[in-house]
Structure 1
C-alpha cells in the first residue's frame, strides 16, 4: 500500500471518529449535563453546610439497651410526618438509618424526599429535613425517571446504559481524535 493510500485511510478514520464524537455529543449533551452537575453536587453534599444534606443530629444516649423499639420509633416518625409534613398522605418508608454512635434514628420517606431524625432513647424529634441529596442521587443515576413515570427500573437502566456507553464511546473517539493526527504526522515524517 502506498503512503498516500495509508494516509487517506487514516484521515477517513479520523473524520469518521470526529463525526461519531460530534453527533453523539449533540444527542446526549442534556444527559451529560445532568450527570455532571448532579455528580458535582453529590461530591459537595457533606460540605454544603446542610443545604444538600442535613447534619446528623445527636440523641441522648448511644447505649442501645436504653433505646425505644424500632416499631415504636417508626410510629412516632409517622405521627411527626402527619403533624408536620402532610396530614393527607400515607407516607411510604424508604429506609431506616440507625446511627447508634449518634444516638439517633433517621426515617426516610419516598414521597417528597422527607427525613425525620428521632432520638433513639426518647423518641424526641431532632430534625425534620428535605433530603435534597436523595433527589440529586436519583437524578444522577436516572432512578428519578422511574419514580416520576412509576416504572420498575427500566428507565434507570436505559439512562445509565446510554450515558455509560456514550462516555466509553467518547473516550475511544476522543483518544483517536488526539492520537490519529499525531500518528499521521509521524508516518509522514518517515
Structure 2
C-alpha cells in the first residue's frame, strides 16, 4: 500500500515538473520583460530623472488664479508643436493637475512626450520624454494594442490573463516541486 502511494506521489511530481518546465520555456521571454520592466517601474521615482522626470513648481497653488483648462491645453499643444515637432499628434491621453505644485502635466496618446505647464501663467515648465509610460505599456502588454491599433485593449487583457494564470501555475507547481519530495521522505 505504501509503495503504491509513493508511486502515485512520484507520478504527480513528474506531472508538476513537466507543467512547470513547459510553462517556463514557453513564456520565458515574457517573464523576462515583465521582470525587467517591473524593476524599472519600482525604481522610477529614484532614477534621478532618467525614467520619470521631477515635477516642477508653478507660480500658485490656488486654483482661482489658474488659467482655464482649455486654455492650458491649447498652450500645451502649441508648445508641443513648436518645441518638439509639428508632426506629432496633439490627442491628449491624460491631464494631470498637480494643485500642490501649481502645475499641470499633459500626456499624449500616440507618443511618449509630455509637458508640464504653470497652471497660473501657462508658461512651459518642462518638456519630457515619458519613459515610465513606455515601460508601463511594455510591462502590461498594452504596447501591442497601441502598435496594432486595436481598441478596448484585447491584447493587453489576453496577455495579462495568460501571464497571471502562468504565474499561478508556477506558484502551485513550484510549491509542489519543493514540498512533494519533503512529504515523500517524511512518509517513508
TM-score normalised by structure 1 residue count: 0.96
Per the alignment, residue 150 of structure 1 pairs with 149
Per the alignment, residue 174 of structure 1 pairs with 174
CA offsets per residue over residues 11-57 of structure 1, 9 Å max, x none? 11101100100010000011111111111000000000000000000
Gaps of 5+ in 2: none
Q: Quick check: 2:89–2:110 contact (8 Å CA) kept in 1? A: no
Q: Quick check: 2:52–2:132 contact (8 Å CA) kept in 1? A: yes
TM-score normalised by structure 2 residue count: 0.97
Per the alignment, residue 43 of structure 1 pairs with 42
Distance 1:133 1:13 in 2: 43
Distance 1:12 1:90 in 2: 58
Gaps of 5+ in 1: none
Distance 2:139 2:113 in 1: 19
Per the alignment, residue 161 of structure 2 pairs with 161
Per the alignment, residue 24 of structure 1 pairs with 23
Distance 2:32 2:43 in 1: 17
Distance 2:91 2:168 in 1: 37
* Structure 1 counterpart SS, 2:55: coil
CA offsets per residue over residues 110-155 of structure 1, 9 Å max, x none? 2221110000111110000000001111111111111011112110
RMSD over aligned Cα atoms: 0.8
Task: Note the 1:38-187 alignment, pairs <5 A.
Answer: 38-152=37-151, 153-187=153-187
Distance 2:128 2:172 in 1: 43
Q: Quick check: 2:13–2:176 contact (8 Å CA) kept in 1? A: yes
Give the paired residue count.
187
